């Protein structure tokens, strides 16, 4: 995975089994209408999540996590690696502003700093190869200078493509030849500082990348085509992938290196295999293994695992695929997508106290004609500035007719623009506002109503006028437009 918010399943008391470290989650904030921090923290606590991984030092998230009892991992984006690598003083300033301050002044329980995010992906063409390790070293030095070296550990979240097996079985695992020396240096550094190796493993992406991949091998229920590695039989790709890493570590002199799974999960939309039933099957299977205390053949105890992700993010980059915005076990507003048994008779609990915009939608006018010359450009315009990934082939709204496609696109734009006056009038007379829910019956397709961020701002800051503040949605929209202009310009007819 390339970007994030992530639901981390670590280990706690489930049924009769003792599992260490508790239940955690990754929390991403790339949303046009993000859930307020206090609601997200309450959501995590209501569901027993006591650890969270952030992808950047988001001030609103960190403030909300203060004195919450939730342990925090703070991420550093790849675009900051060069500056951090250039000077220890830059790293010291970052640690002072984003770690020391929140620990001392806000009571945030920061335990890890994640330096970069999958910086050695092959698709990055060595863009971050020379800066990731120096940045890691400088951040570590800055933490030590701040007196936090023992309590806050550094690591680098890595993609599983940093290791491979020429033999086709886990026991043949080794680090990628082009970065092998660099990987050994990083691992030695982590080991010397008592820090873990962090890797992201995505069985879904194995299926997404290879149409011939045996789908049952992606889950935990067994397969008719297992991988036999000597005396060991692998029935799922997660175990095989993880043990390939273990073999690579063993082969290079680190047999006991602690491992954290930084991201693992299954999306629910944006691809024909990104289905709610598949996501529930995968995540429930993973939770069941954790509740049994089941690890892999090479490491019988389960590792710390962060499942991707807590909440959907409608402004994430879709460069890897439309599914990128749909990894959450909760929808964008904290409602539950599918049931999960967390063990000990605990089920997921939805977010509370969420305020919504008015119950109204922007749809294609009944008398509008799809042959209107403005029709194609109107849909393109809507999908340039709003999230239309659910309209793609195999997605939840992929089976709509032409008019319904247009209505979905118009409404997503209208909601993204906070239902502002005139927002539904951008489509050359083809649209109209309705107060009757247009979501098709007997379908998983839903025409959304967005969160009312202005009401939440008043709730969290009762003495501040919202008129003097820029809405979070518009801040993220600016990011969204820049990032996605080329990738979202599509027409689904």
- What does the alpha-carbon distance between residue 202 and residue 208 come to, in Å, rounded to a whole number? 10
Q: Which residue carries 């980059």 as its tokens?
A: 317
Write out the DSSP string of 67-89.
TSS-EEEEEE-GGGHHHHHH-HH
Of 56, 92, 118, 324, catalytic: 118
- What does the alpha-carbon distance between residue 384 and residue 447 come to, in Å, rounded to a whole number? 17
Q: How far is CA 372 from CA 378, 384, 391, 403, in A?
A: 10, 20, 21, 12
Q: Locate 480 and state its tokens.
A: 């969204």
Q: Do residues 414 and 426 lie in contact, with contact meaning Cβ atoms separated by under 8 Å? A: no
Pairing of strands 49-54, 23-27: parallel
Q: Where are the beta strands (DSSP E) in 197-241?
A: 197-200, 227-229, 232-234
Q: Locate 274 and state its tokens.
A: 């990104």
Of 56, 92, 263, 324, catalytic: 263
Q: How far is CA 49 from CA 10, 102, 286, 290, 320, in A?
A: 9, 20, 16, 14, 28
Helix (H) or strand (E) holding 182: helix 180-192
Compute φ and ψ for 165, nearest 5 degrees. -140, 115
Q: Is 56 a catalytic residue?
A: no
Q: Is 263 a catalytic residue?
A: yes
Q: Show which residues are catalytic.
A: 118, 263
């Amino acid at each position: 995975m390339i970007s994030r918010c992530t639901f981390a399943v670590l280990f706690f008391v489930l049924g009769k089994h003792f599992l260490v470290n508790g239940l955690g989650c990754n929390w991403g904030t790339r949303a046009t209408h993000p859930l307020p921090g206090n609601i997200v923290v309450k959501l995590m606590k209501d569901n027993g999540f006591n650890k969270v991984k952030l992808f950047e030092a988001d001030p609103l998230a960190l403030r909300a996590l203060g004195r919450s009892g939730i342990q925090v991992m703070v991420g550093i984006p790849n675009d900051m690696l060069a500056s951090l690598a250039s000077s220890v003083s830059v790293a010291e300033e970052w640690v002072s502003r984003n770690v020391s301050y929140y620990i001392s002044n806000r009571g945030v329980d920061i335990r890890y700093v994640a330096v970069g995010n999958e910086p050695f992906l092959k698709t990055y063409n060595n863009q971050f190869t020379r800066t990731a390790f120096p940045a890691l070293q400088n951040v570590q030095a800055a933490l030590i200078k701040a007196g936090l070296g023992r309590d806050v550990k550094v690591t680098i979240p890595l993609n599983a493509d940093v290791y491979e097996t020429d033999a086709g079985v886990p026991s043949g695992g080794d680090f990628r030849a082009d970065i092998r020396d660099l990987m050994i240096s990083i691992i030695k550094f982590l080991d010397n500082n008592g820090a873990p190796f962090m890797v992201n493993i995505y069985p879904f992406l194995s299926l997404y990348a290879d149409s011939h991949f045996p789908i049952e091998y992606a889950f935990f229920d067994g397969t008719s085509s297992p991988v036999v590695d000597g005396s060991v039989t692998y029935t799922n790709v997660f175990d095989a992938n993880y043990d390939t890493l273990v073999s690579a570590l063993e082969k290079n002199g680190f047999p006991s290196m602690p491992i954290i799974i930084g991201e693992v999960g299954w999306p629910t939309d944006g691809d024909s295999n990104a289905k709610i039933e598949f996501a529930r099957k995968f995540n429930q299977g993973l939770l069941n293994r954790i509740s049994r205390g089941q690890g892999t053949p090479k490491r019988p105890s389960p590792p710390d695992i962060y499942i991707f992700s807590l909440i959907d993010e409608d402004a994430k980059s879709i460069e890897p695929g439309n599914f990128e915005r749909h990894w959450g076990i909760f929808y964008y507003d904290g409602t539950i997508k599918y049931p999960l048994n967390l063990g000990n008779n605990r089920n997921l609990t939805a977010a509370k106290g969420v305020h919504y915009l008015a119950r109204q939608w922007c749809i294609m006018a009944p008398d509008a004609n799809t042959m209107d010359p403005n029709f194609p450009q109107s849909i393109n315009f809507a999908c340039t500035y709003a999230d239309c990934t659910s309209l793609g082939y195999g997605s939840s709204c992929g089976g709509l007719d032409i008019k319904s496609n247009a209505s979905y696109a118009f409404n997503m734009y209208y909601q993204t623009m906070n239902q502002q006056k005139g927002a539904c009038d951008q489509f050359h007379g083809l649209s109209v506002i309705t107060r009757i829910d247009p979501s098709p019956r007997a379908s998983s397709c839903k025409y959304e109503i967005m969160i009312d961020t202005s009401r939440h701002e008043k709730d969290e800051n009762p003495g501040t006028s919202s008129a003097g503040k820029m809405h979070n949605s518009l801040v993220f929209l600016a990011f969204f437009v820049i990032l996605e202009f080329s990738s979202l310009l599509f027409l689904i007819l």
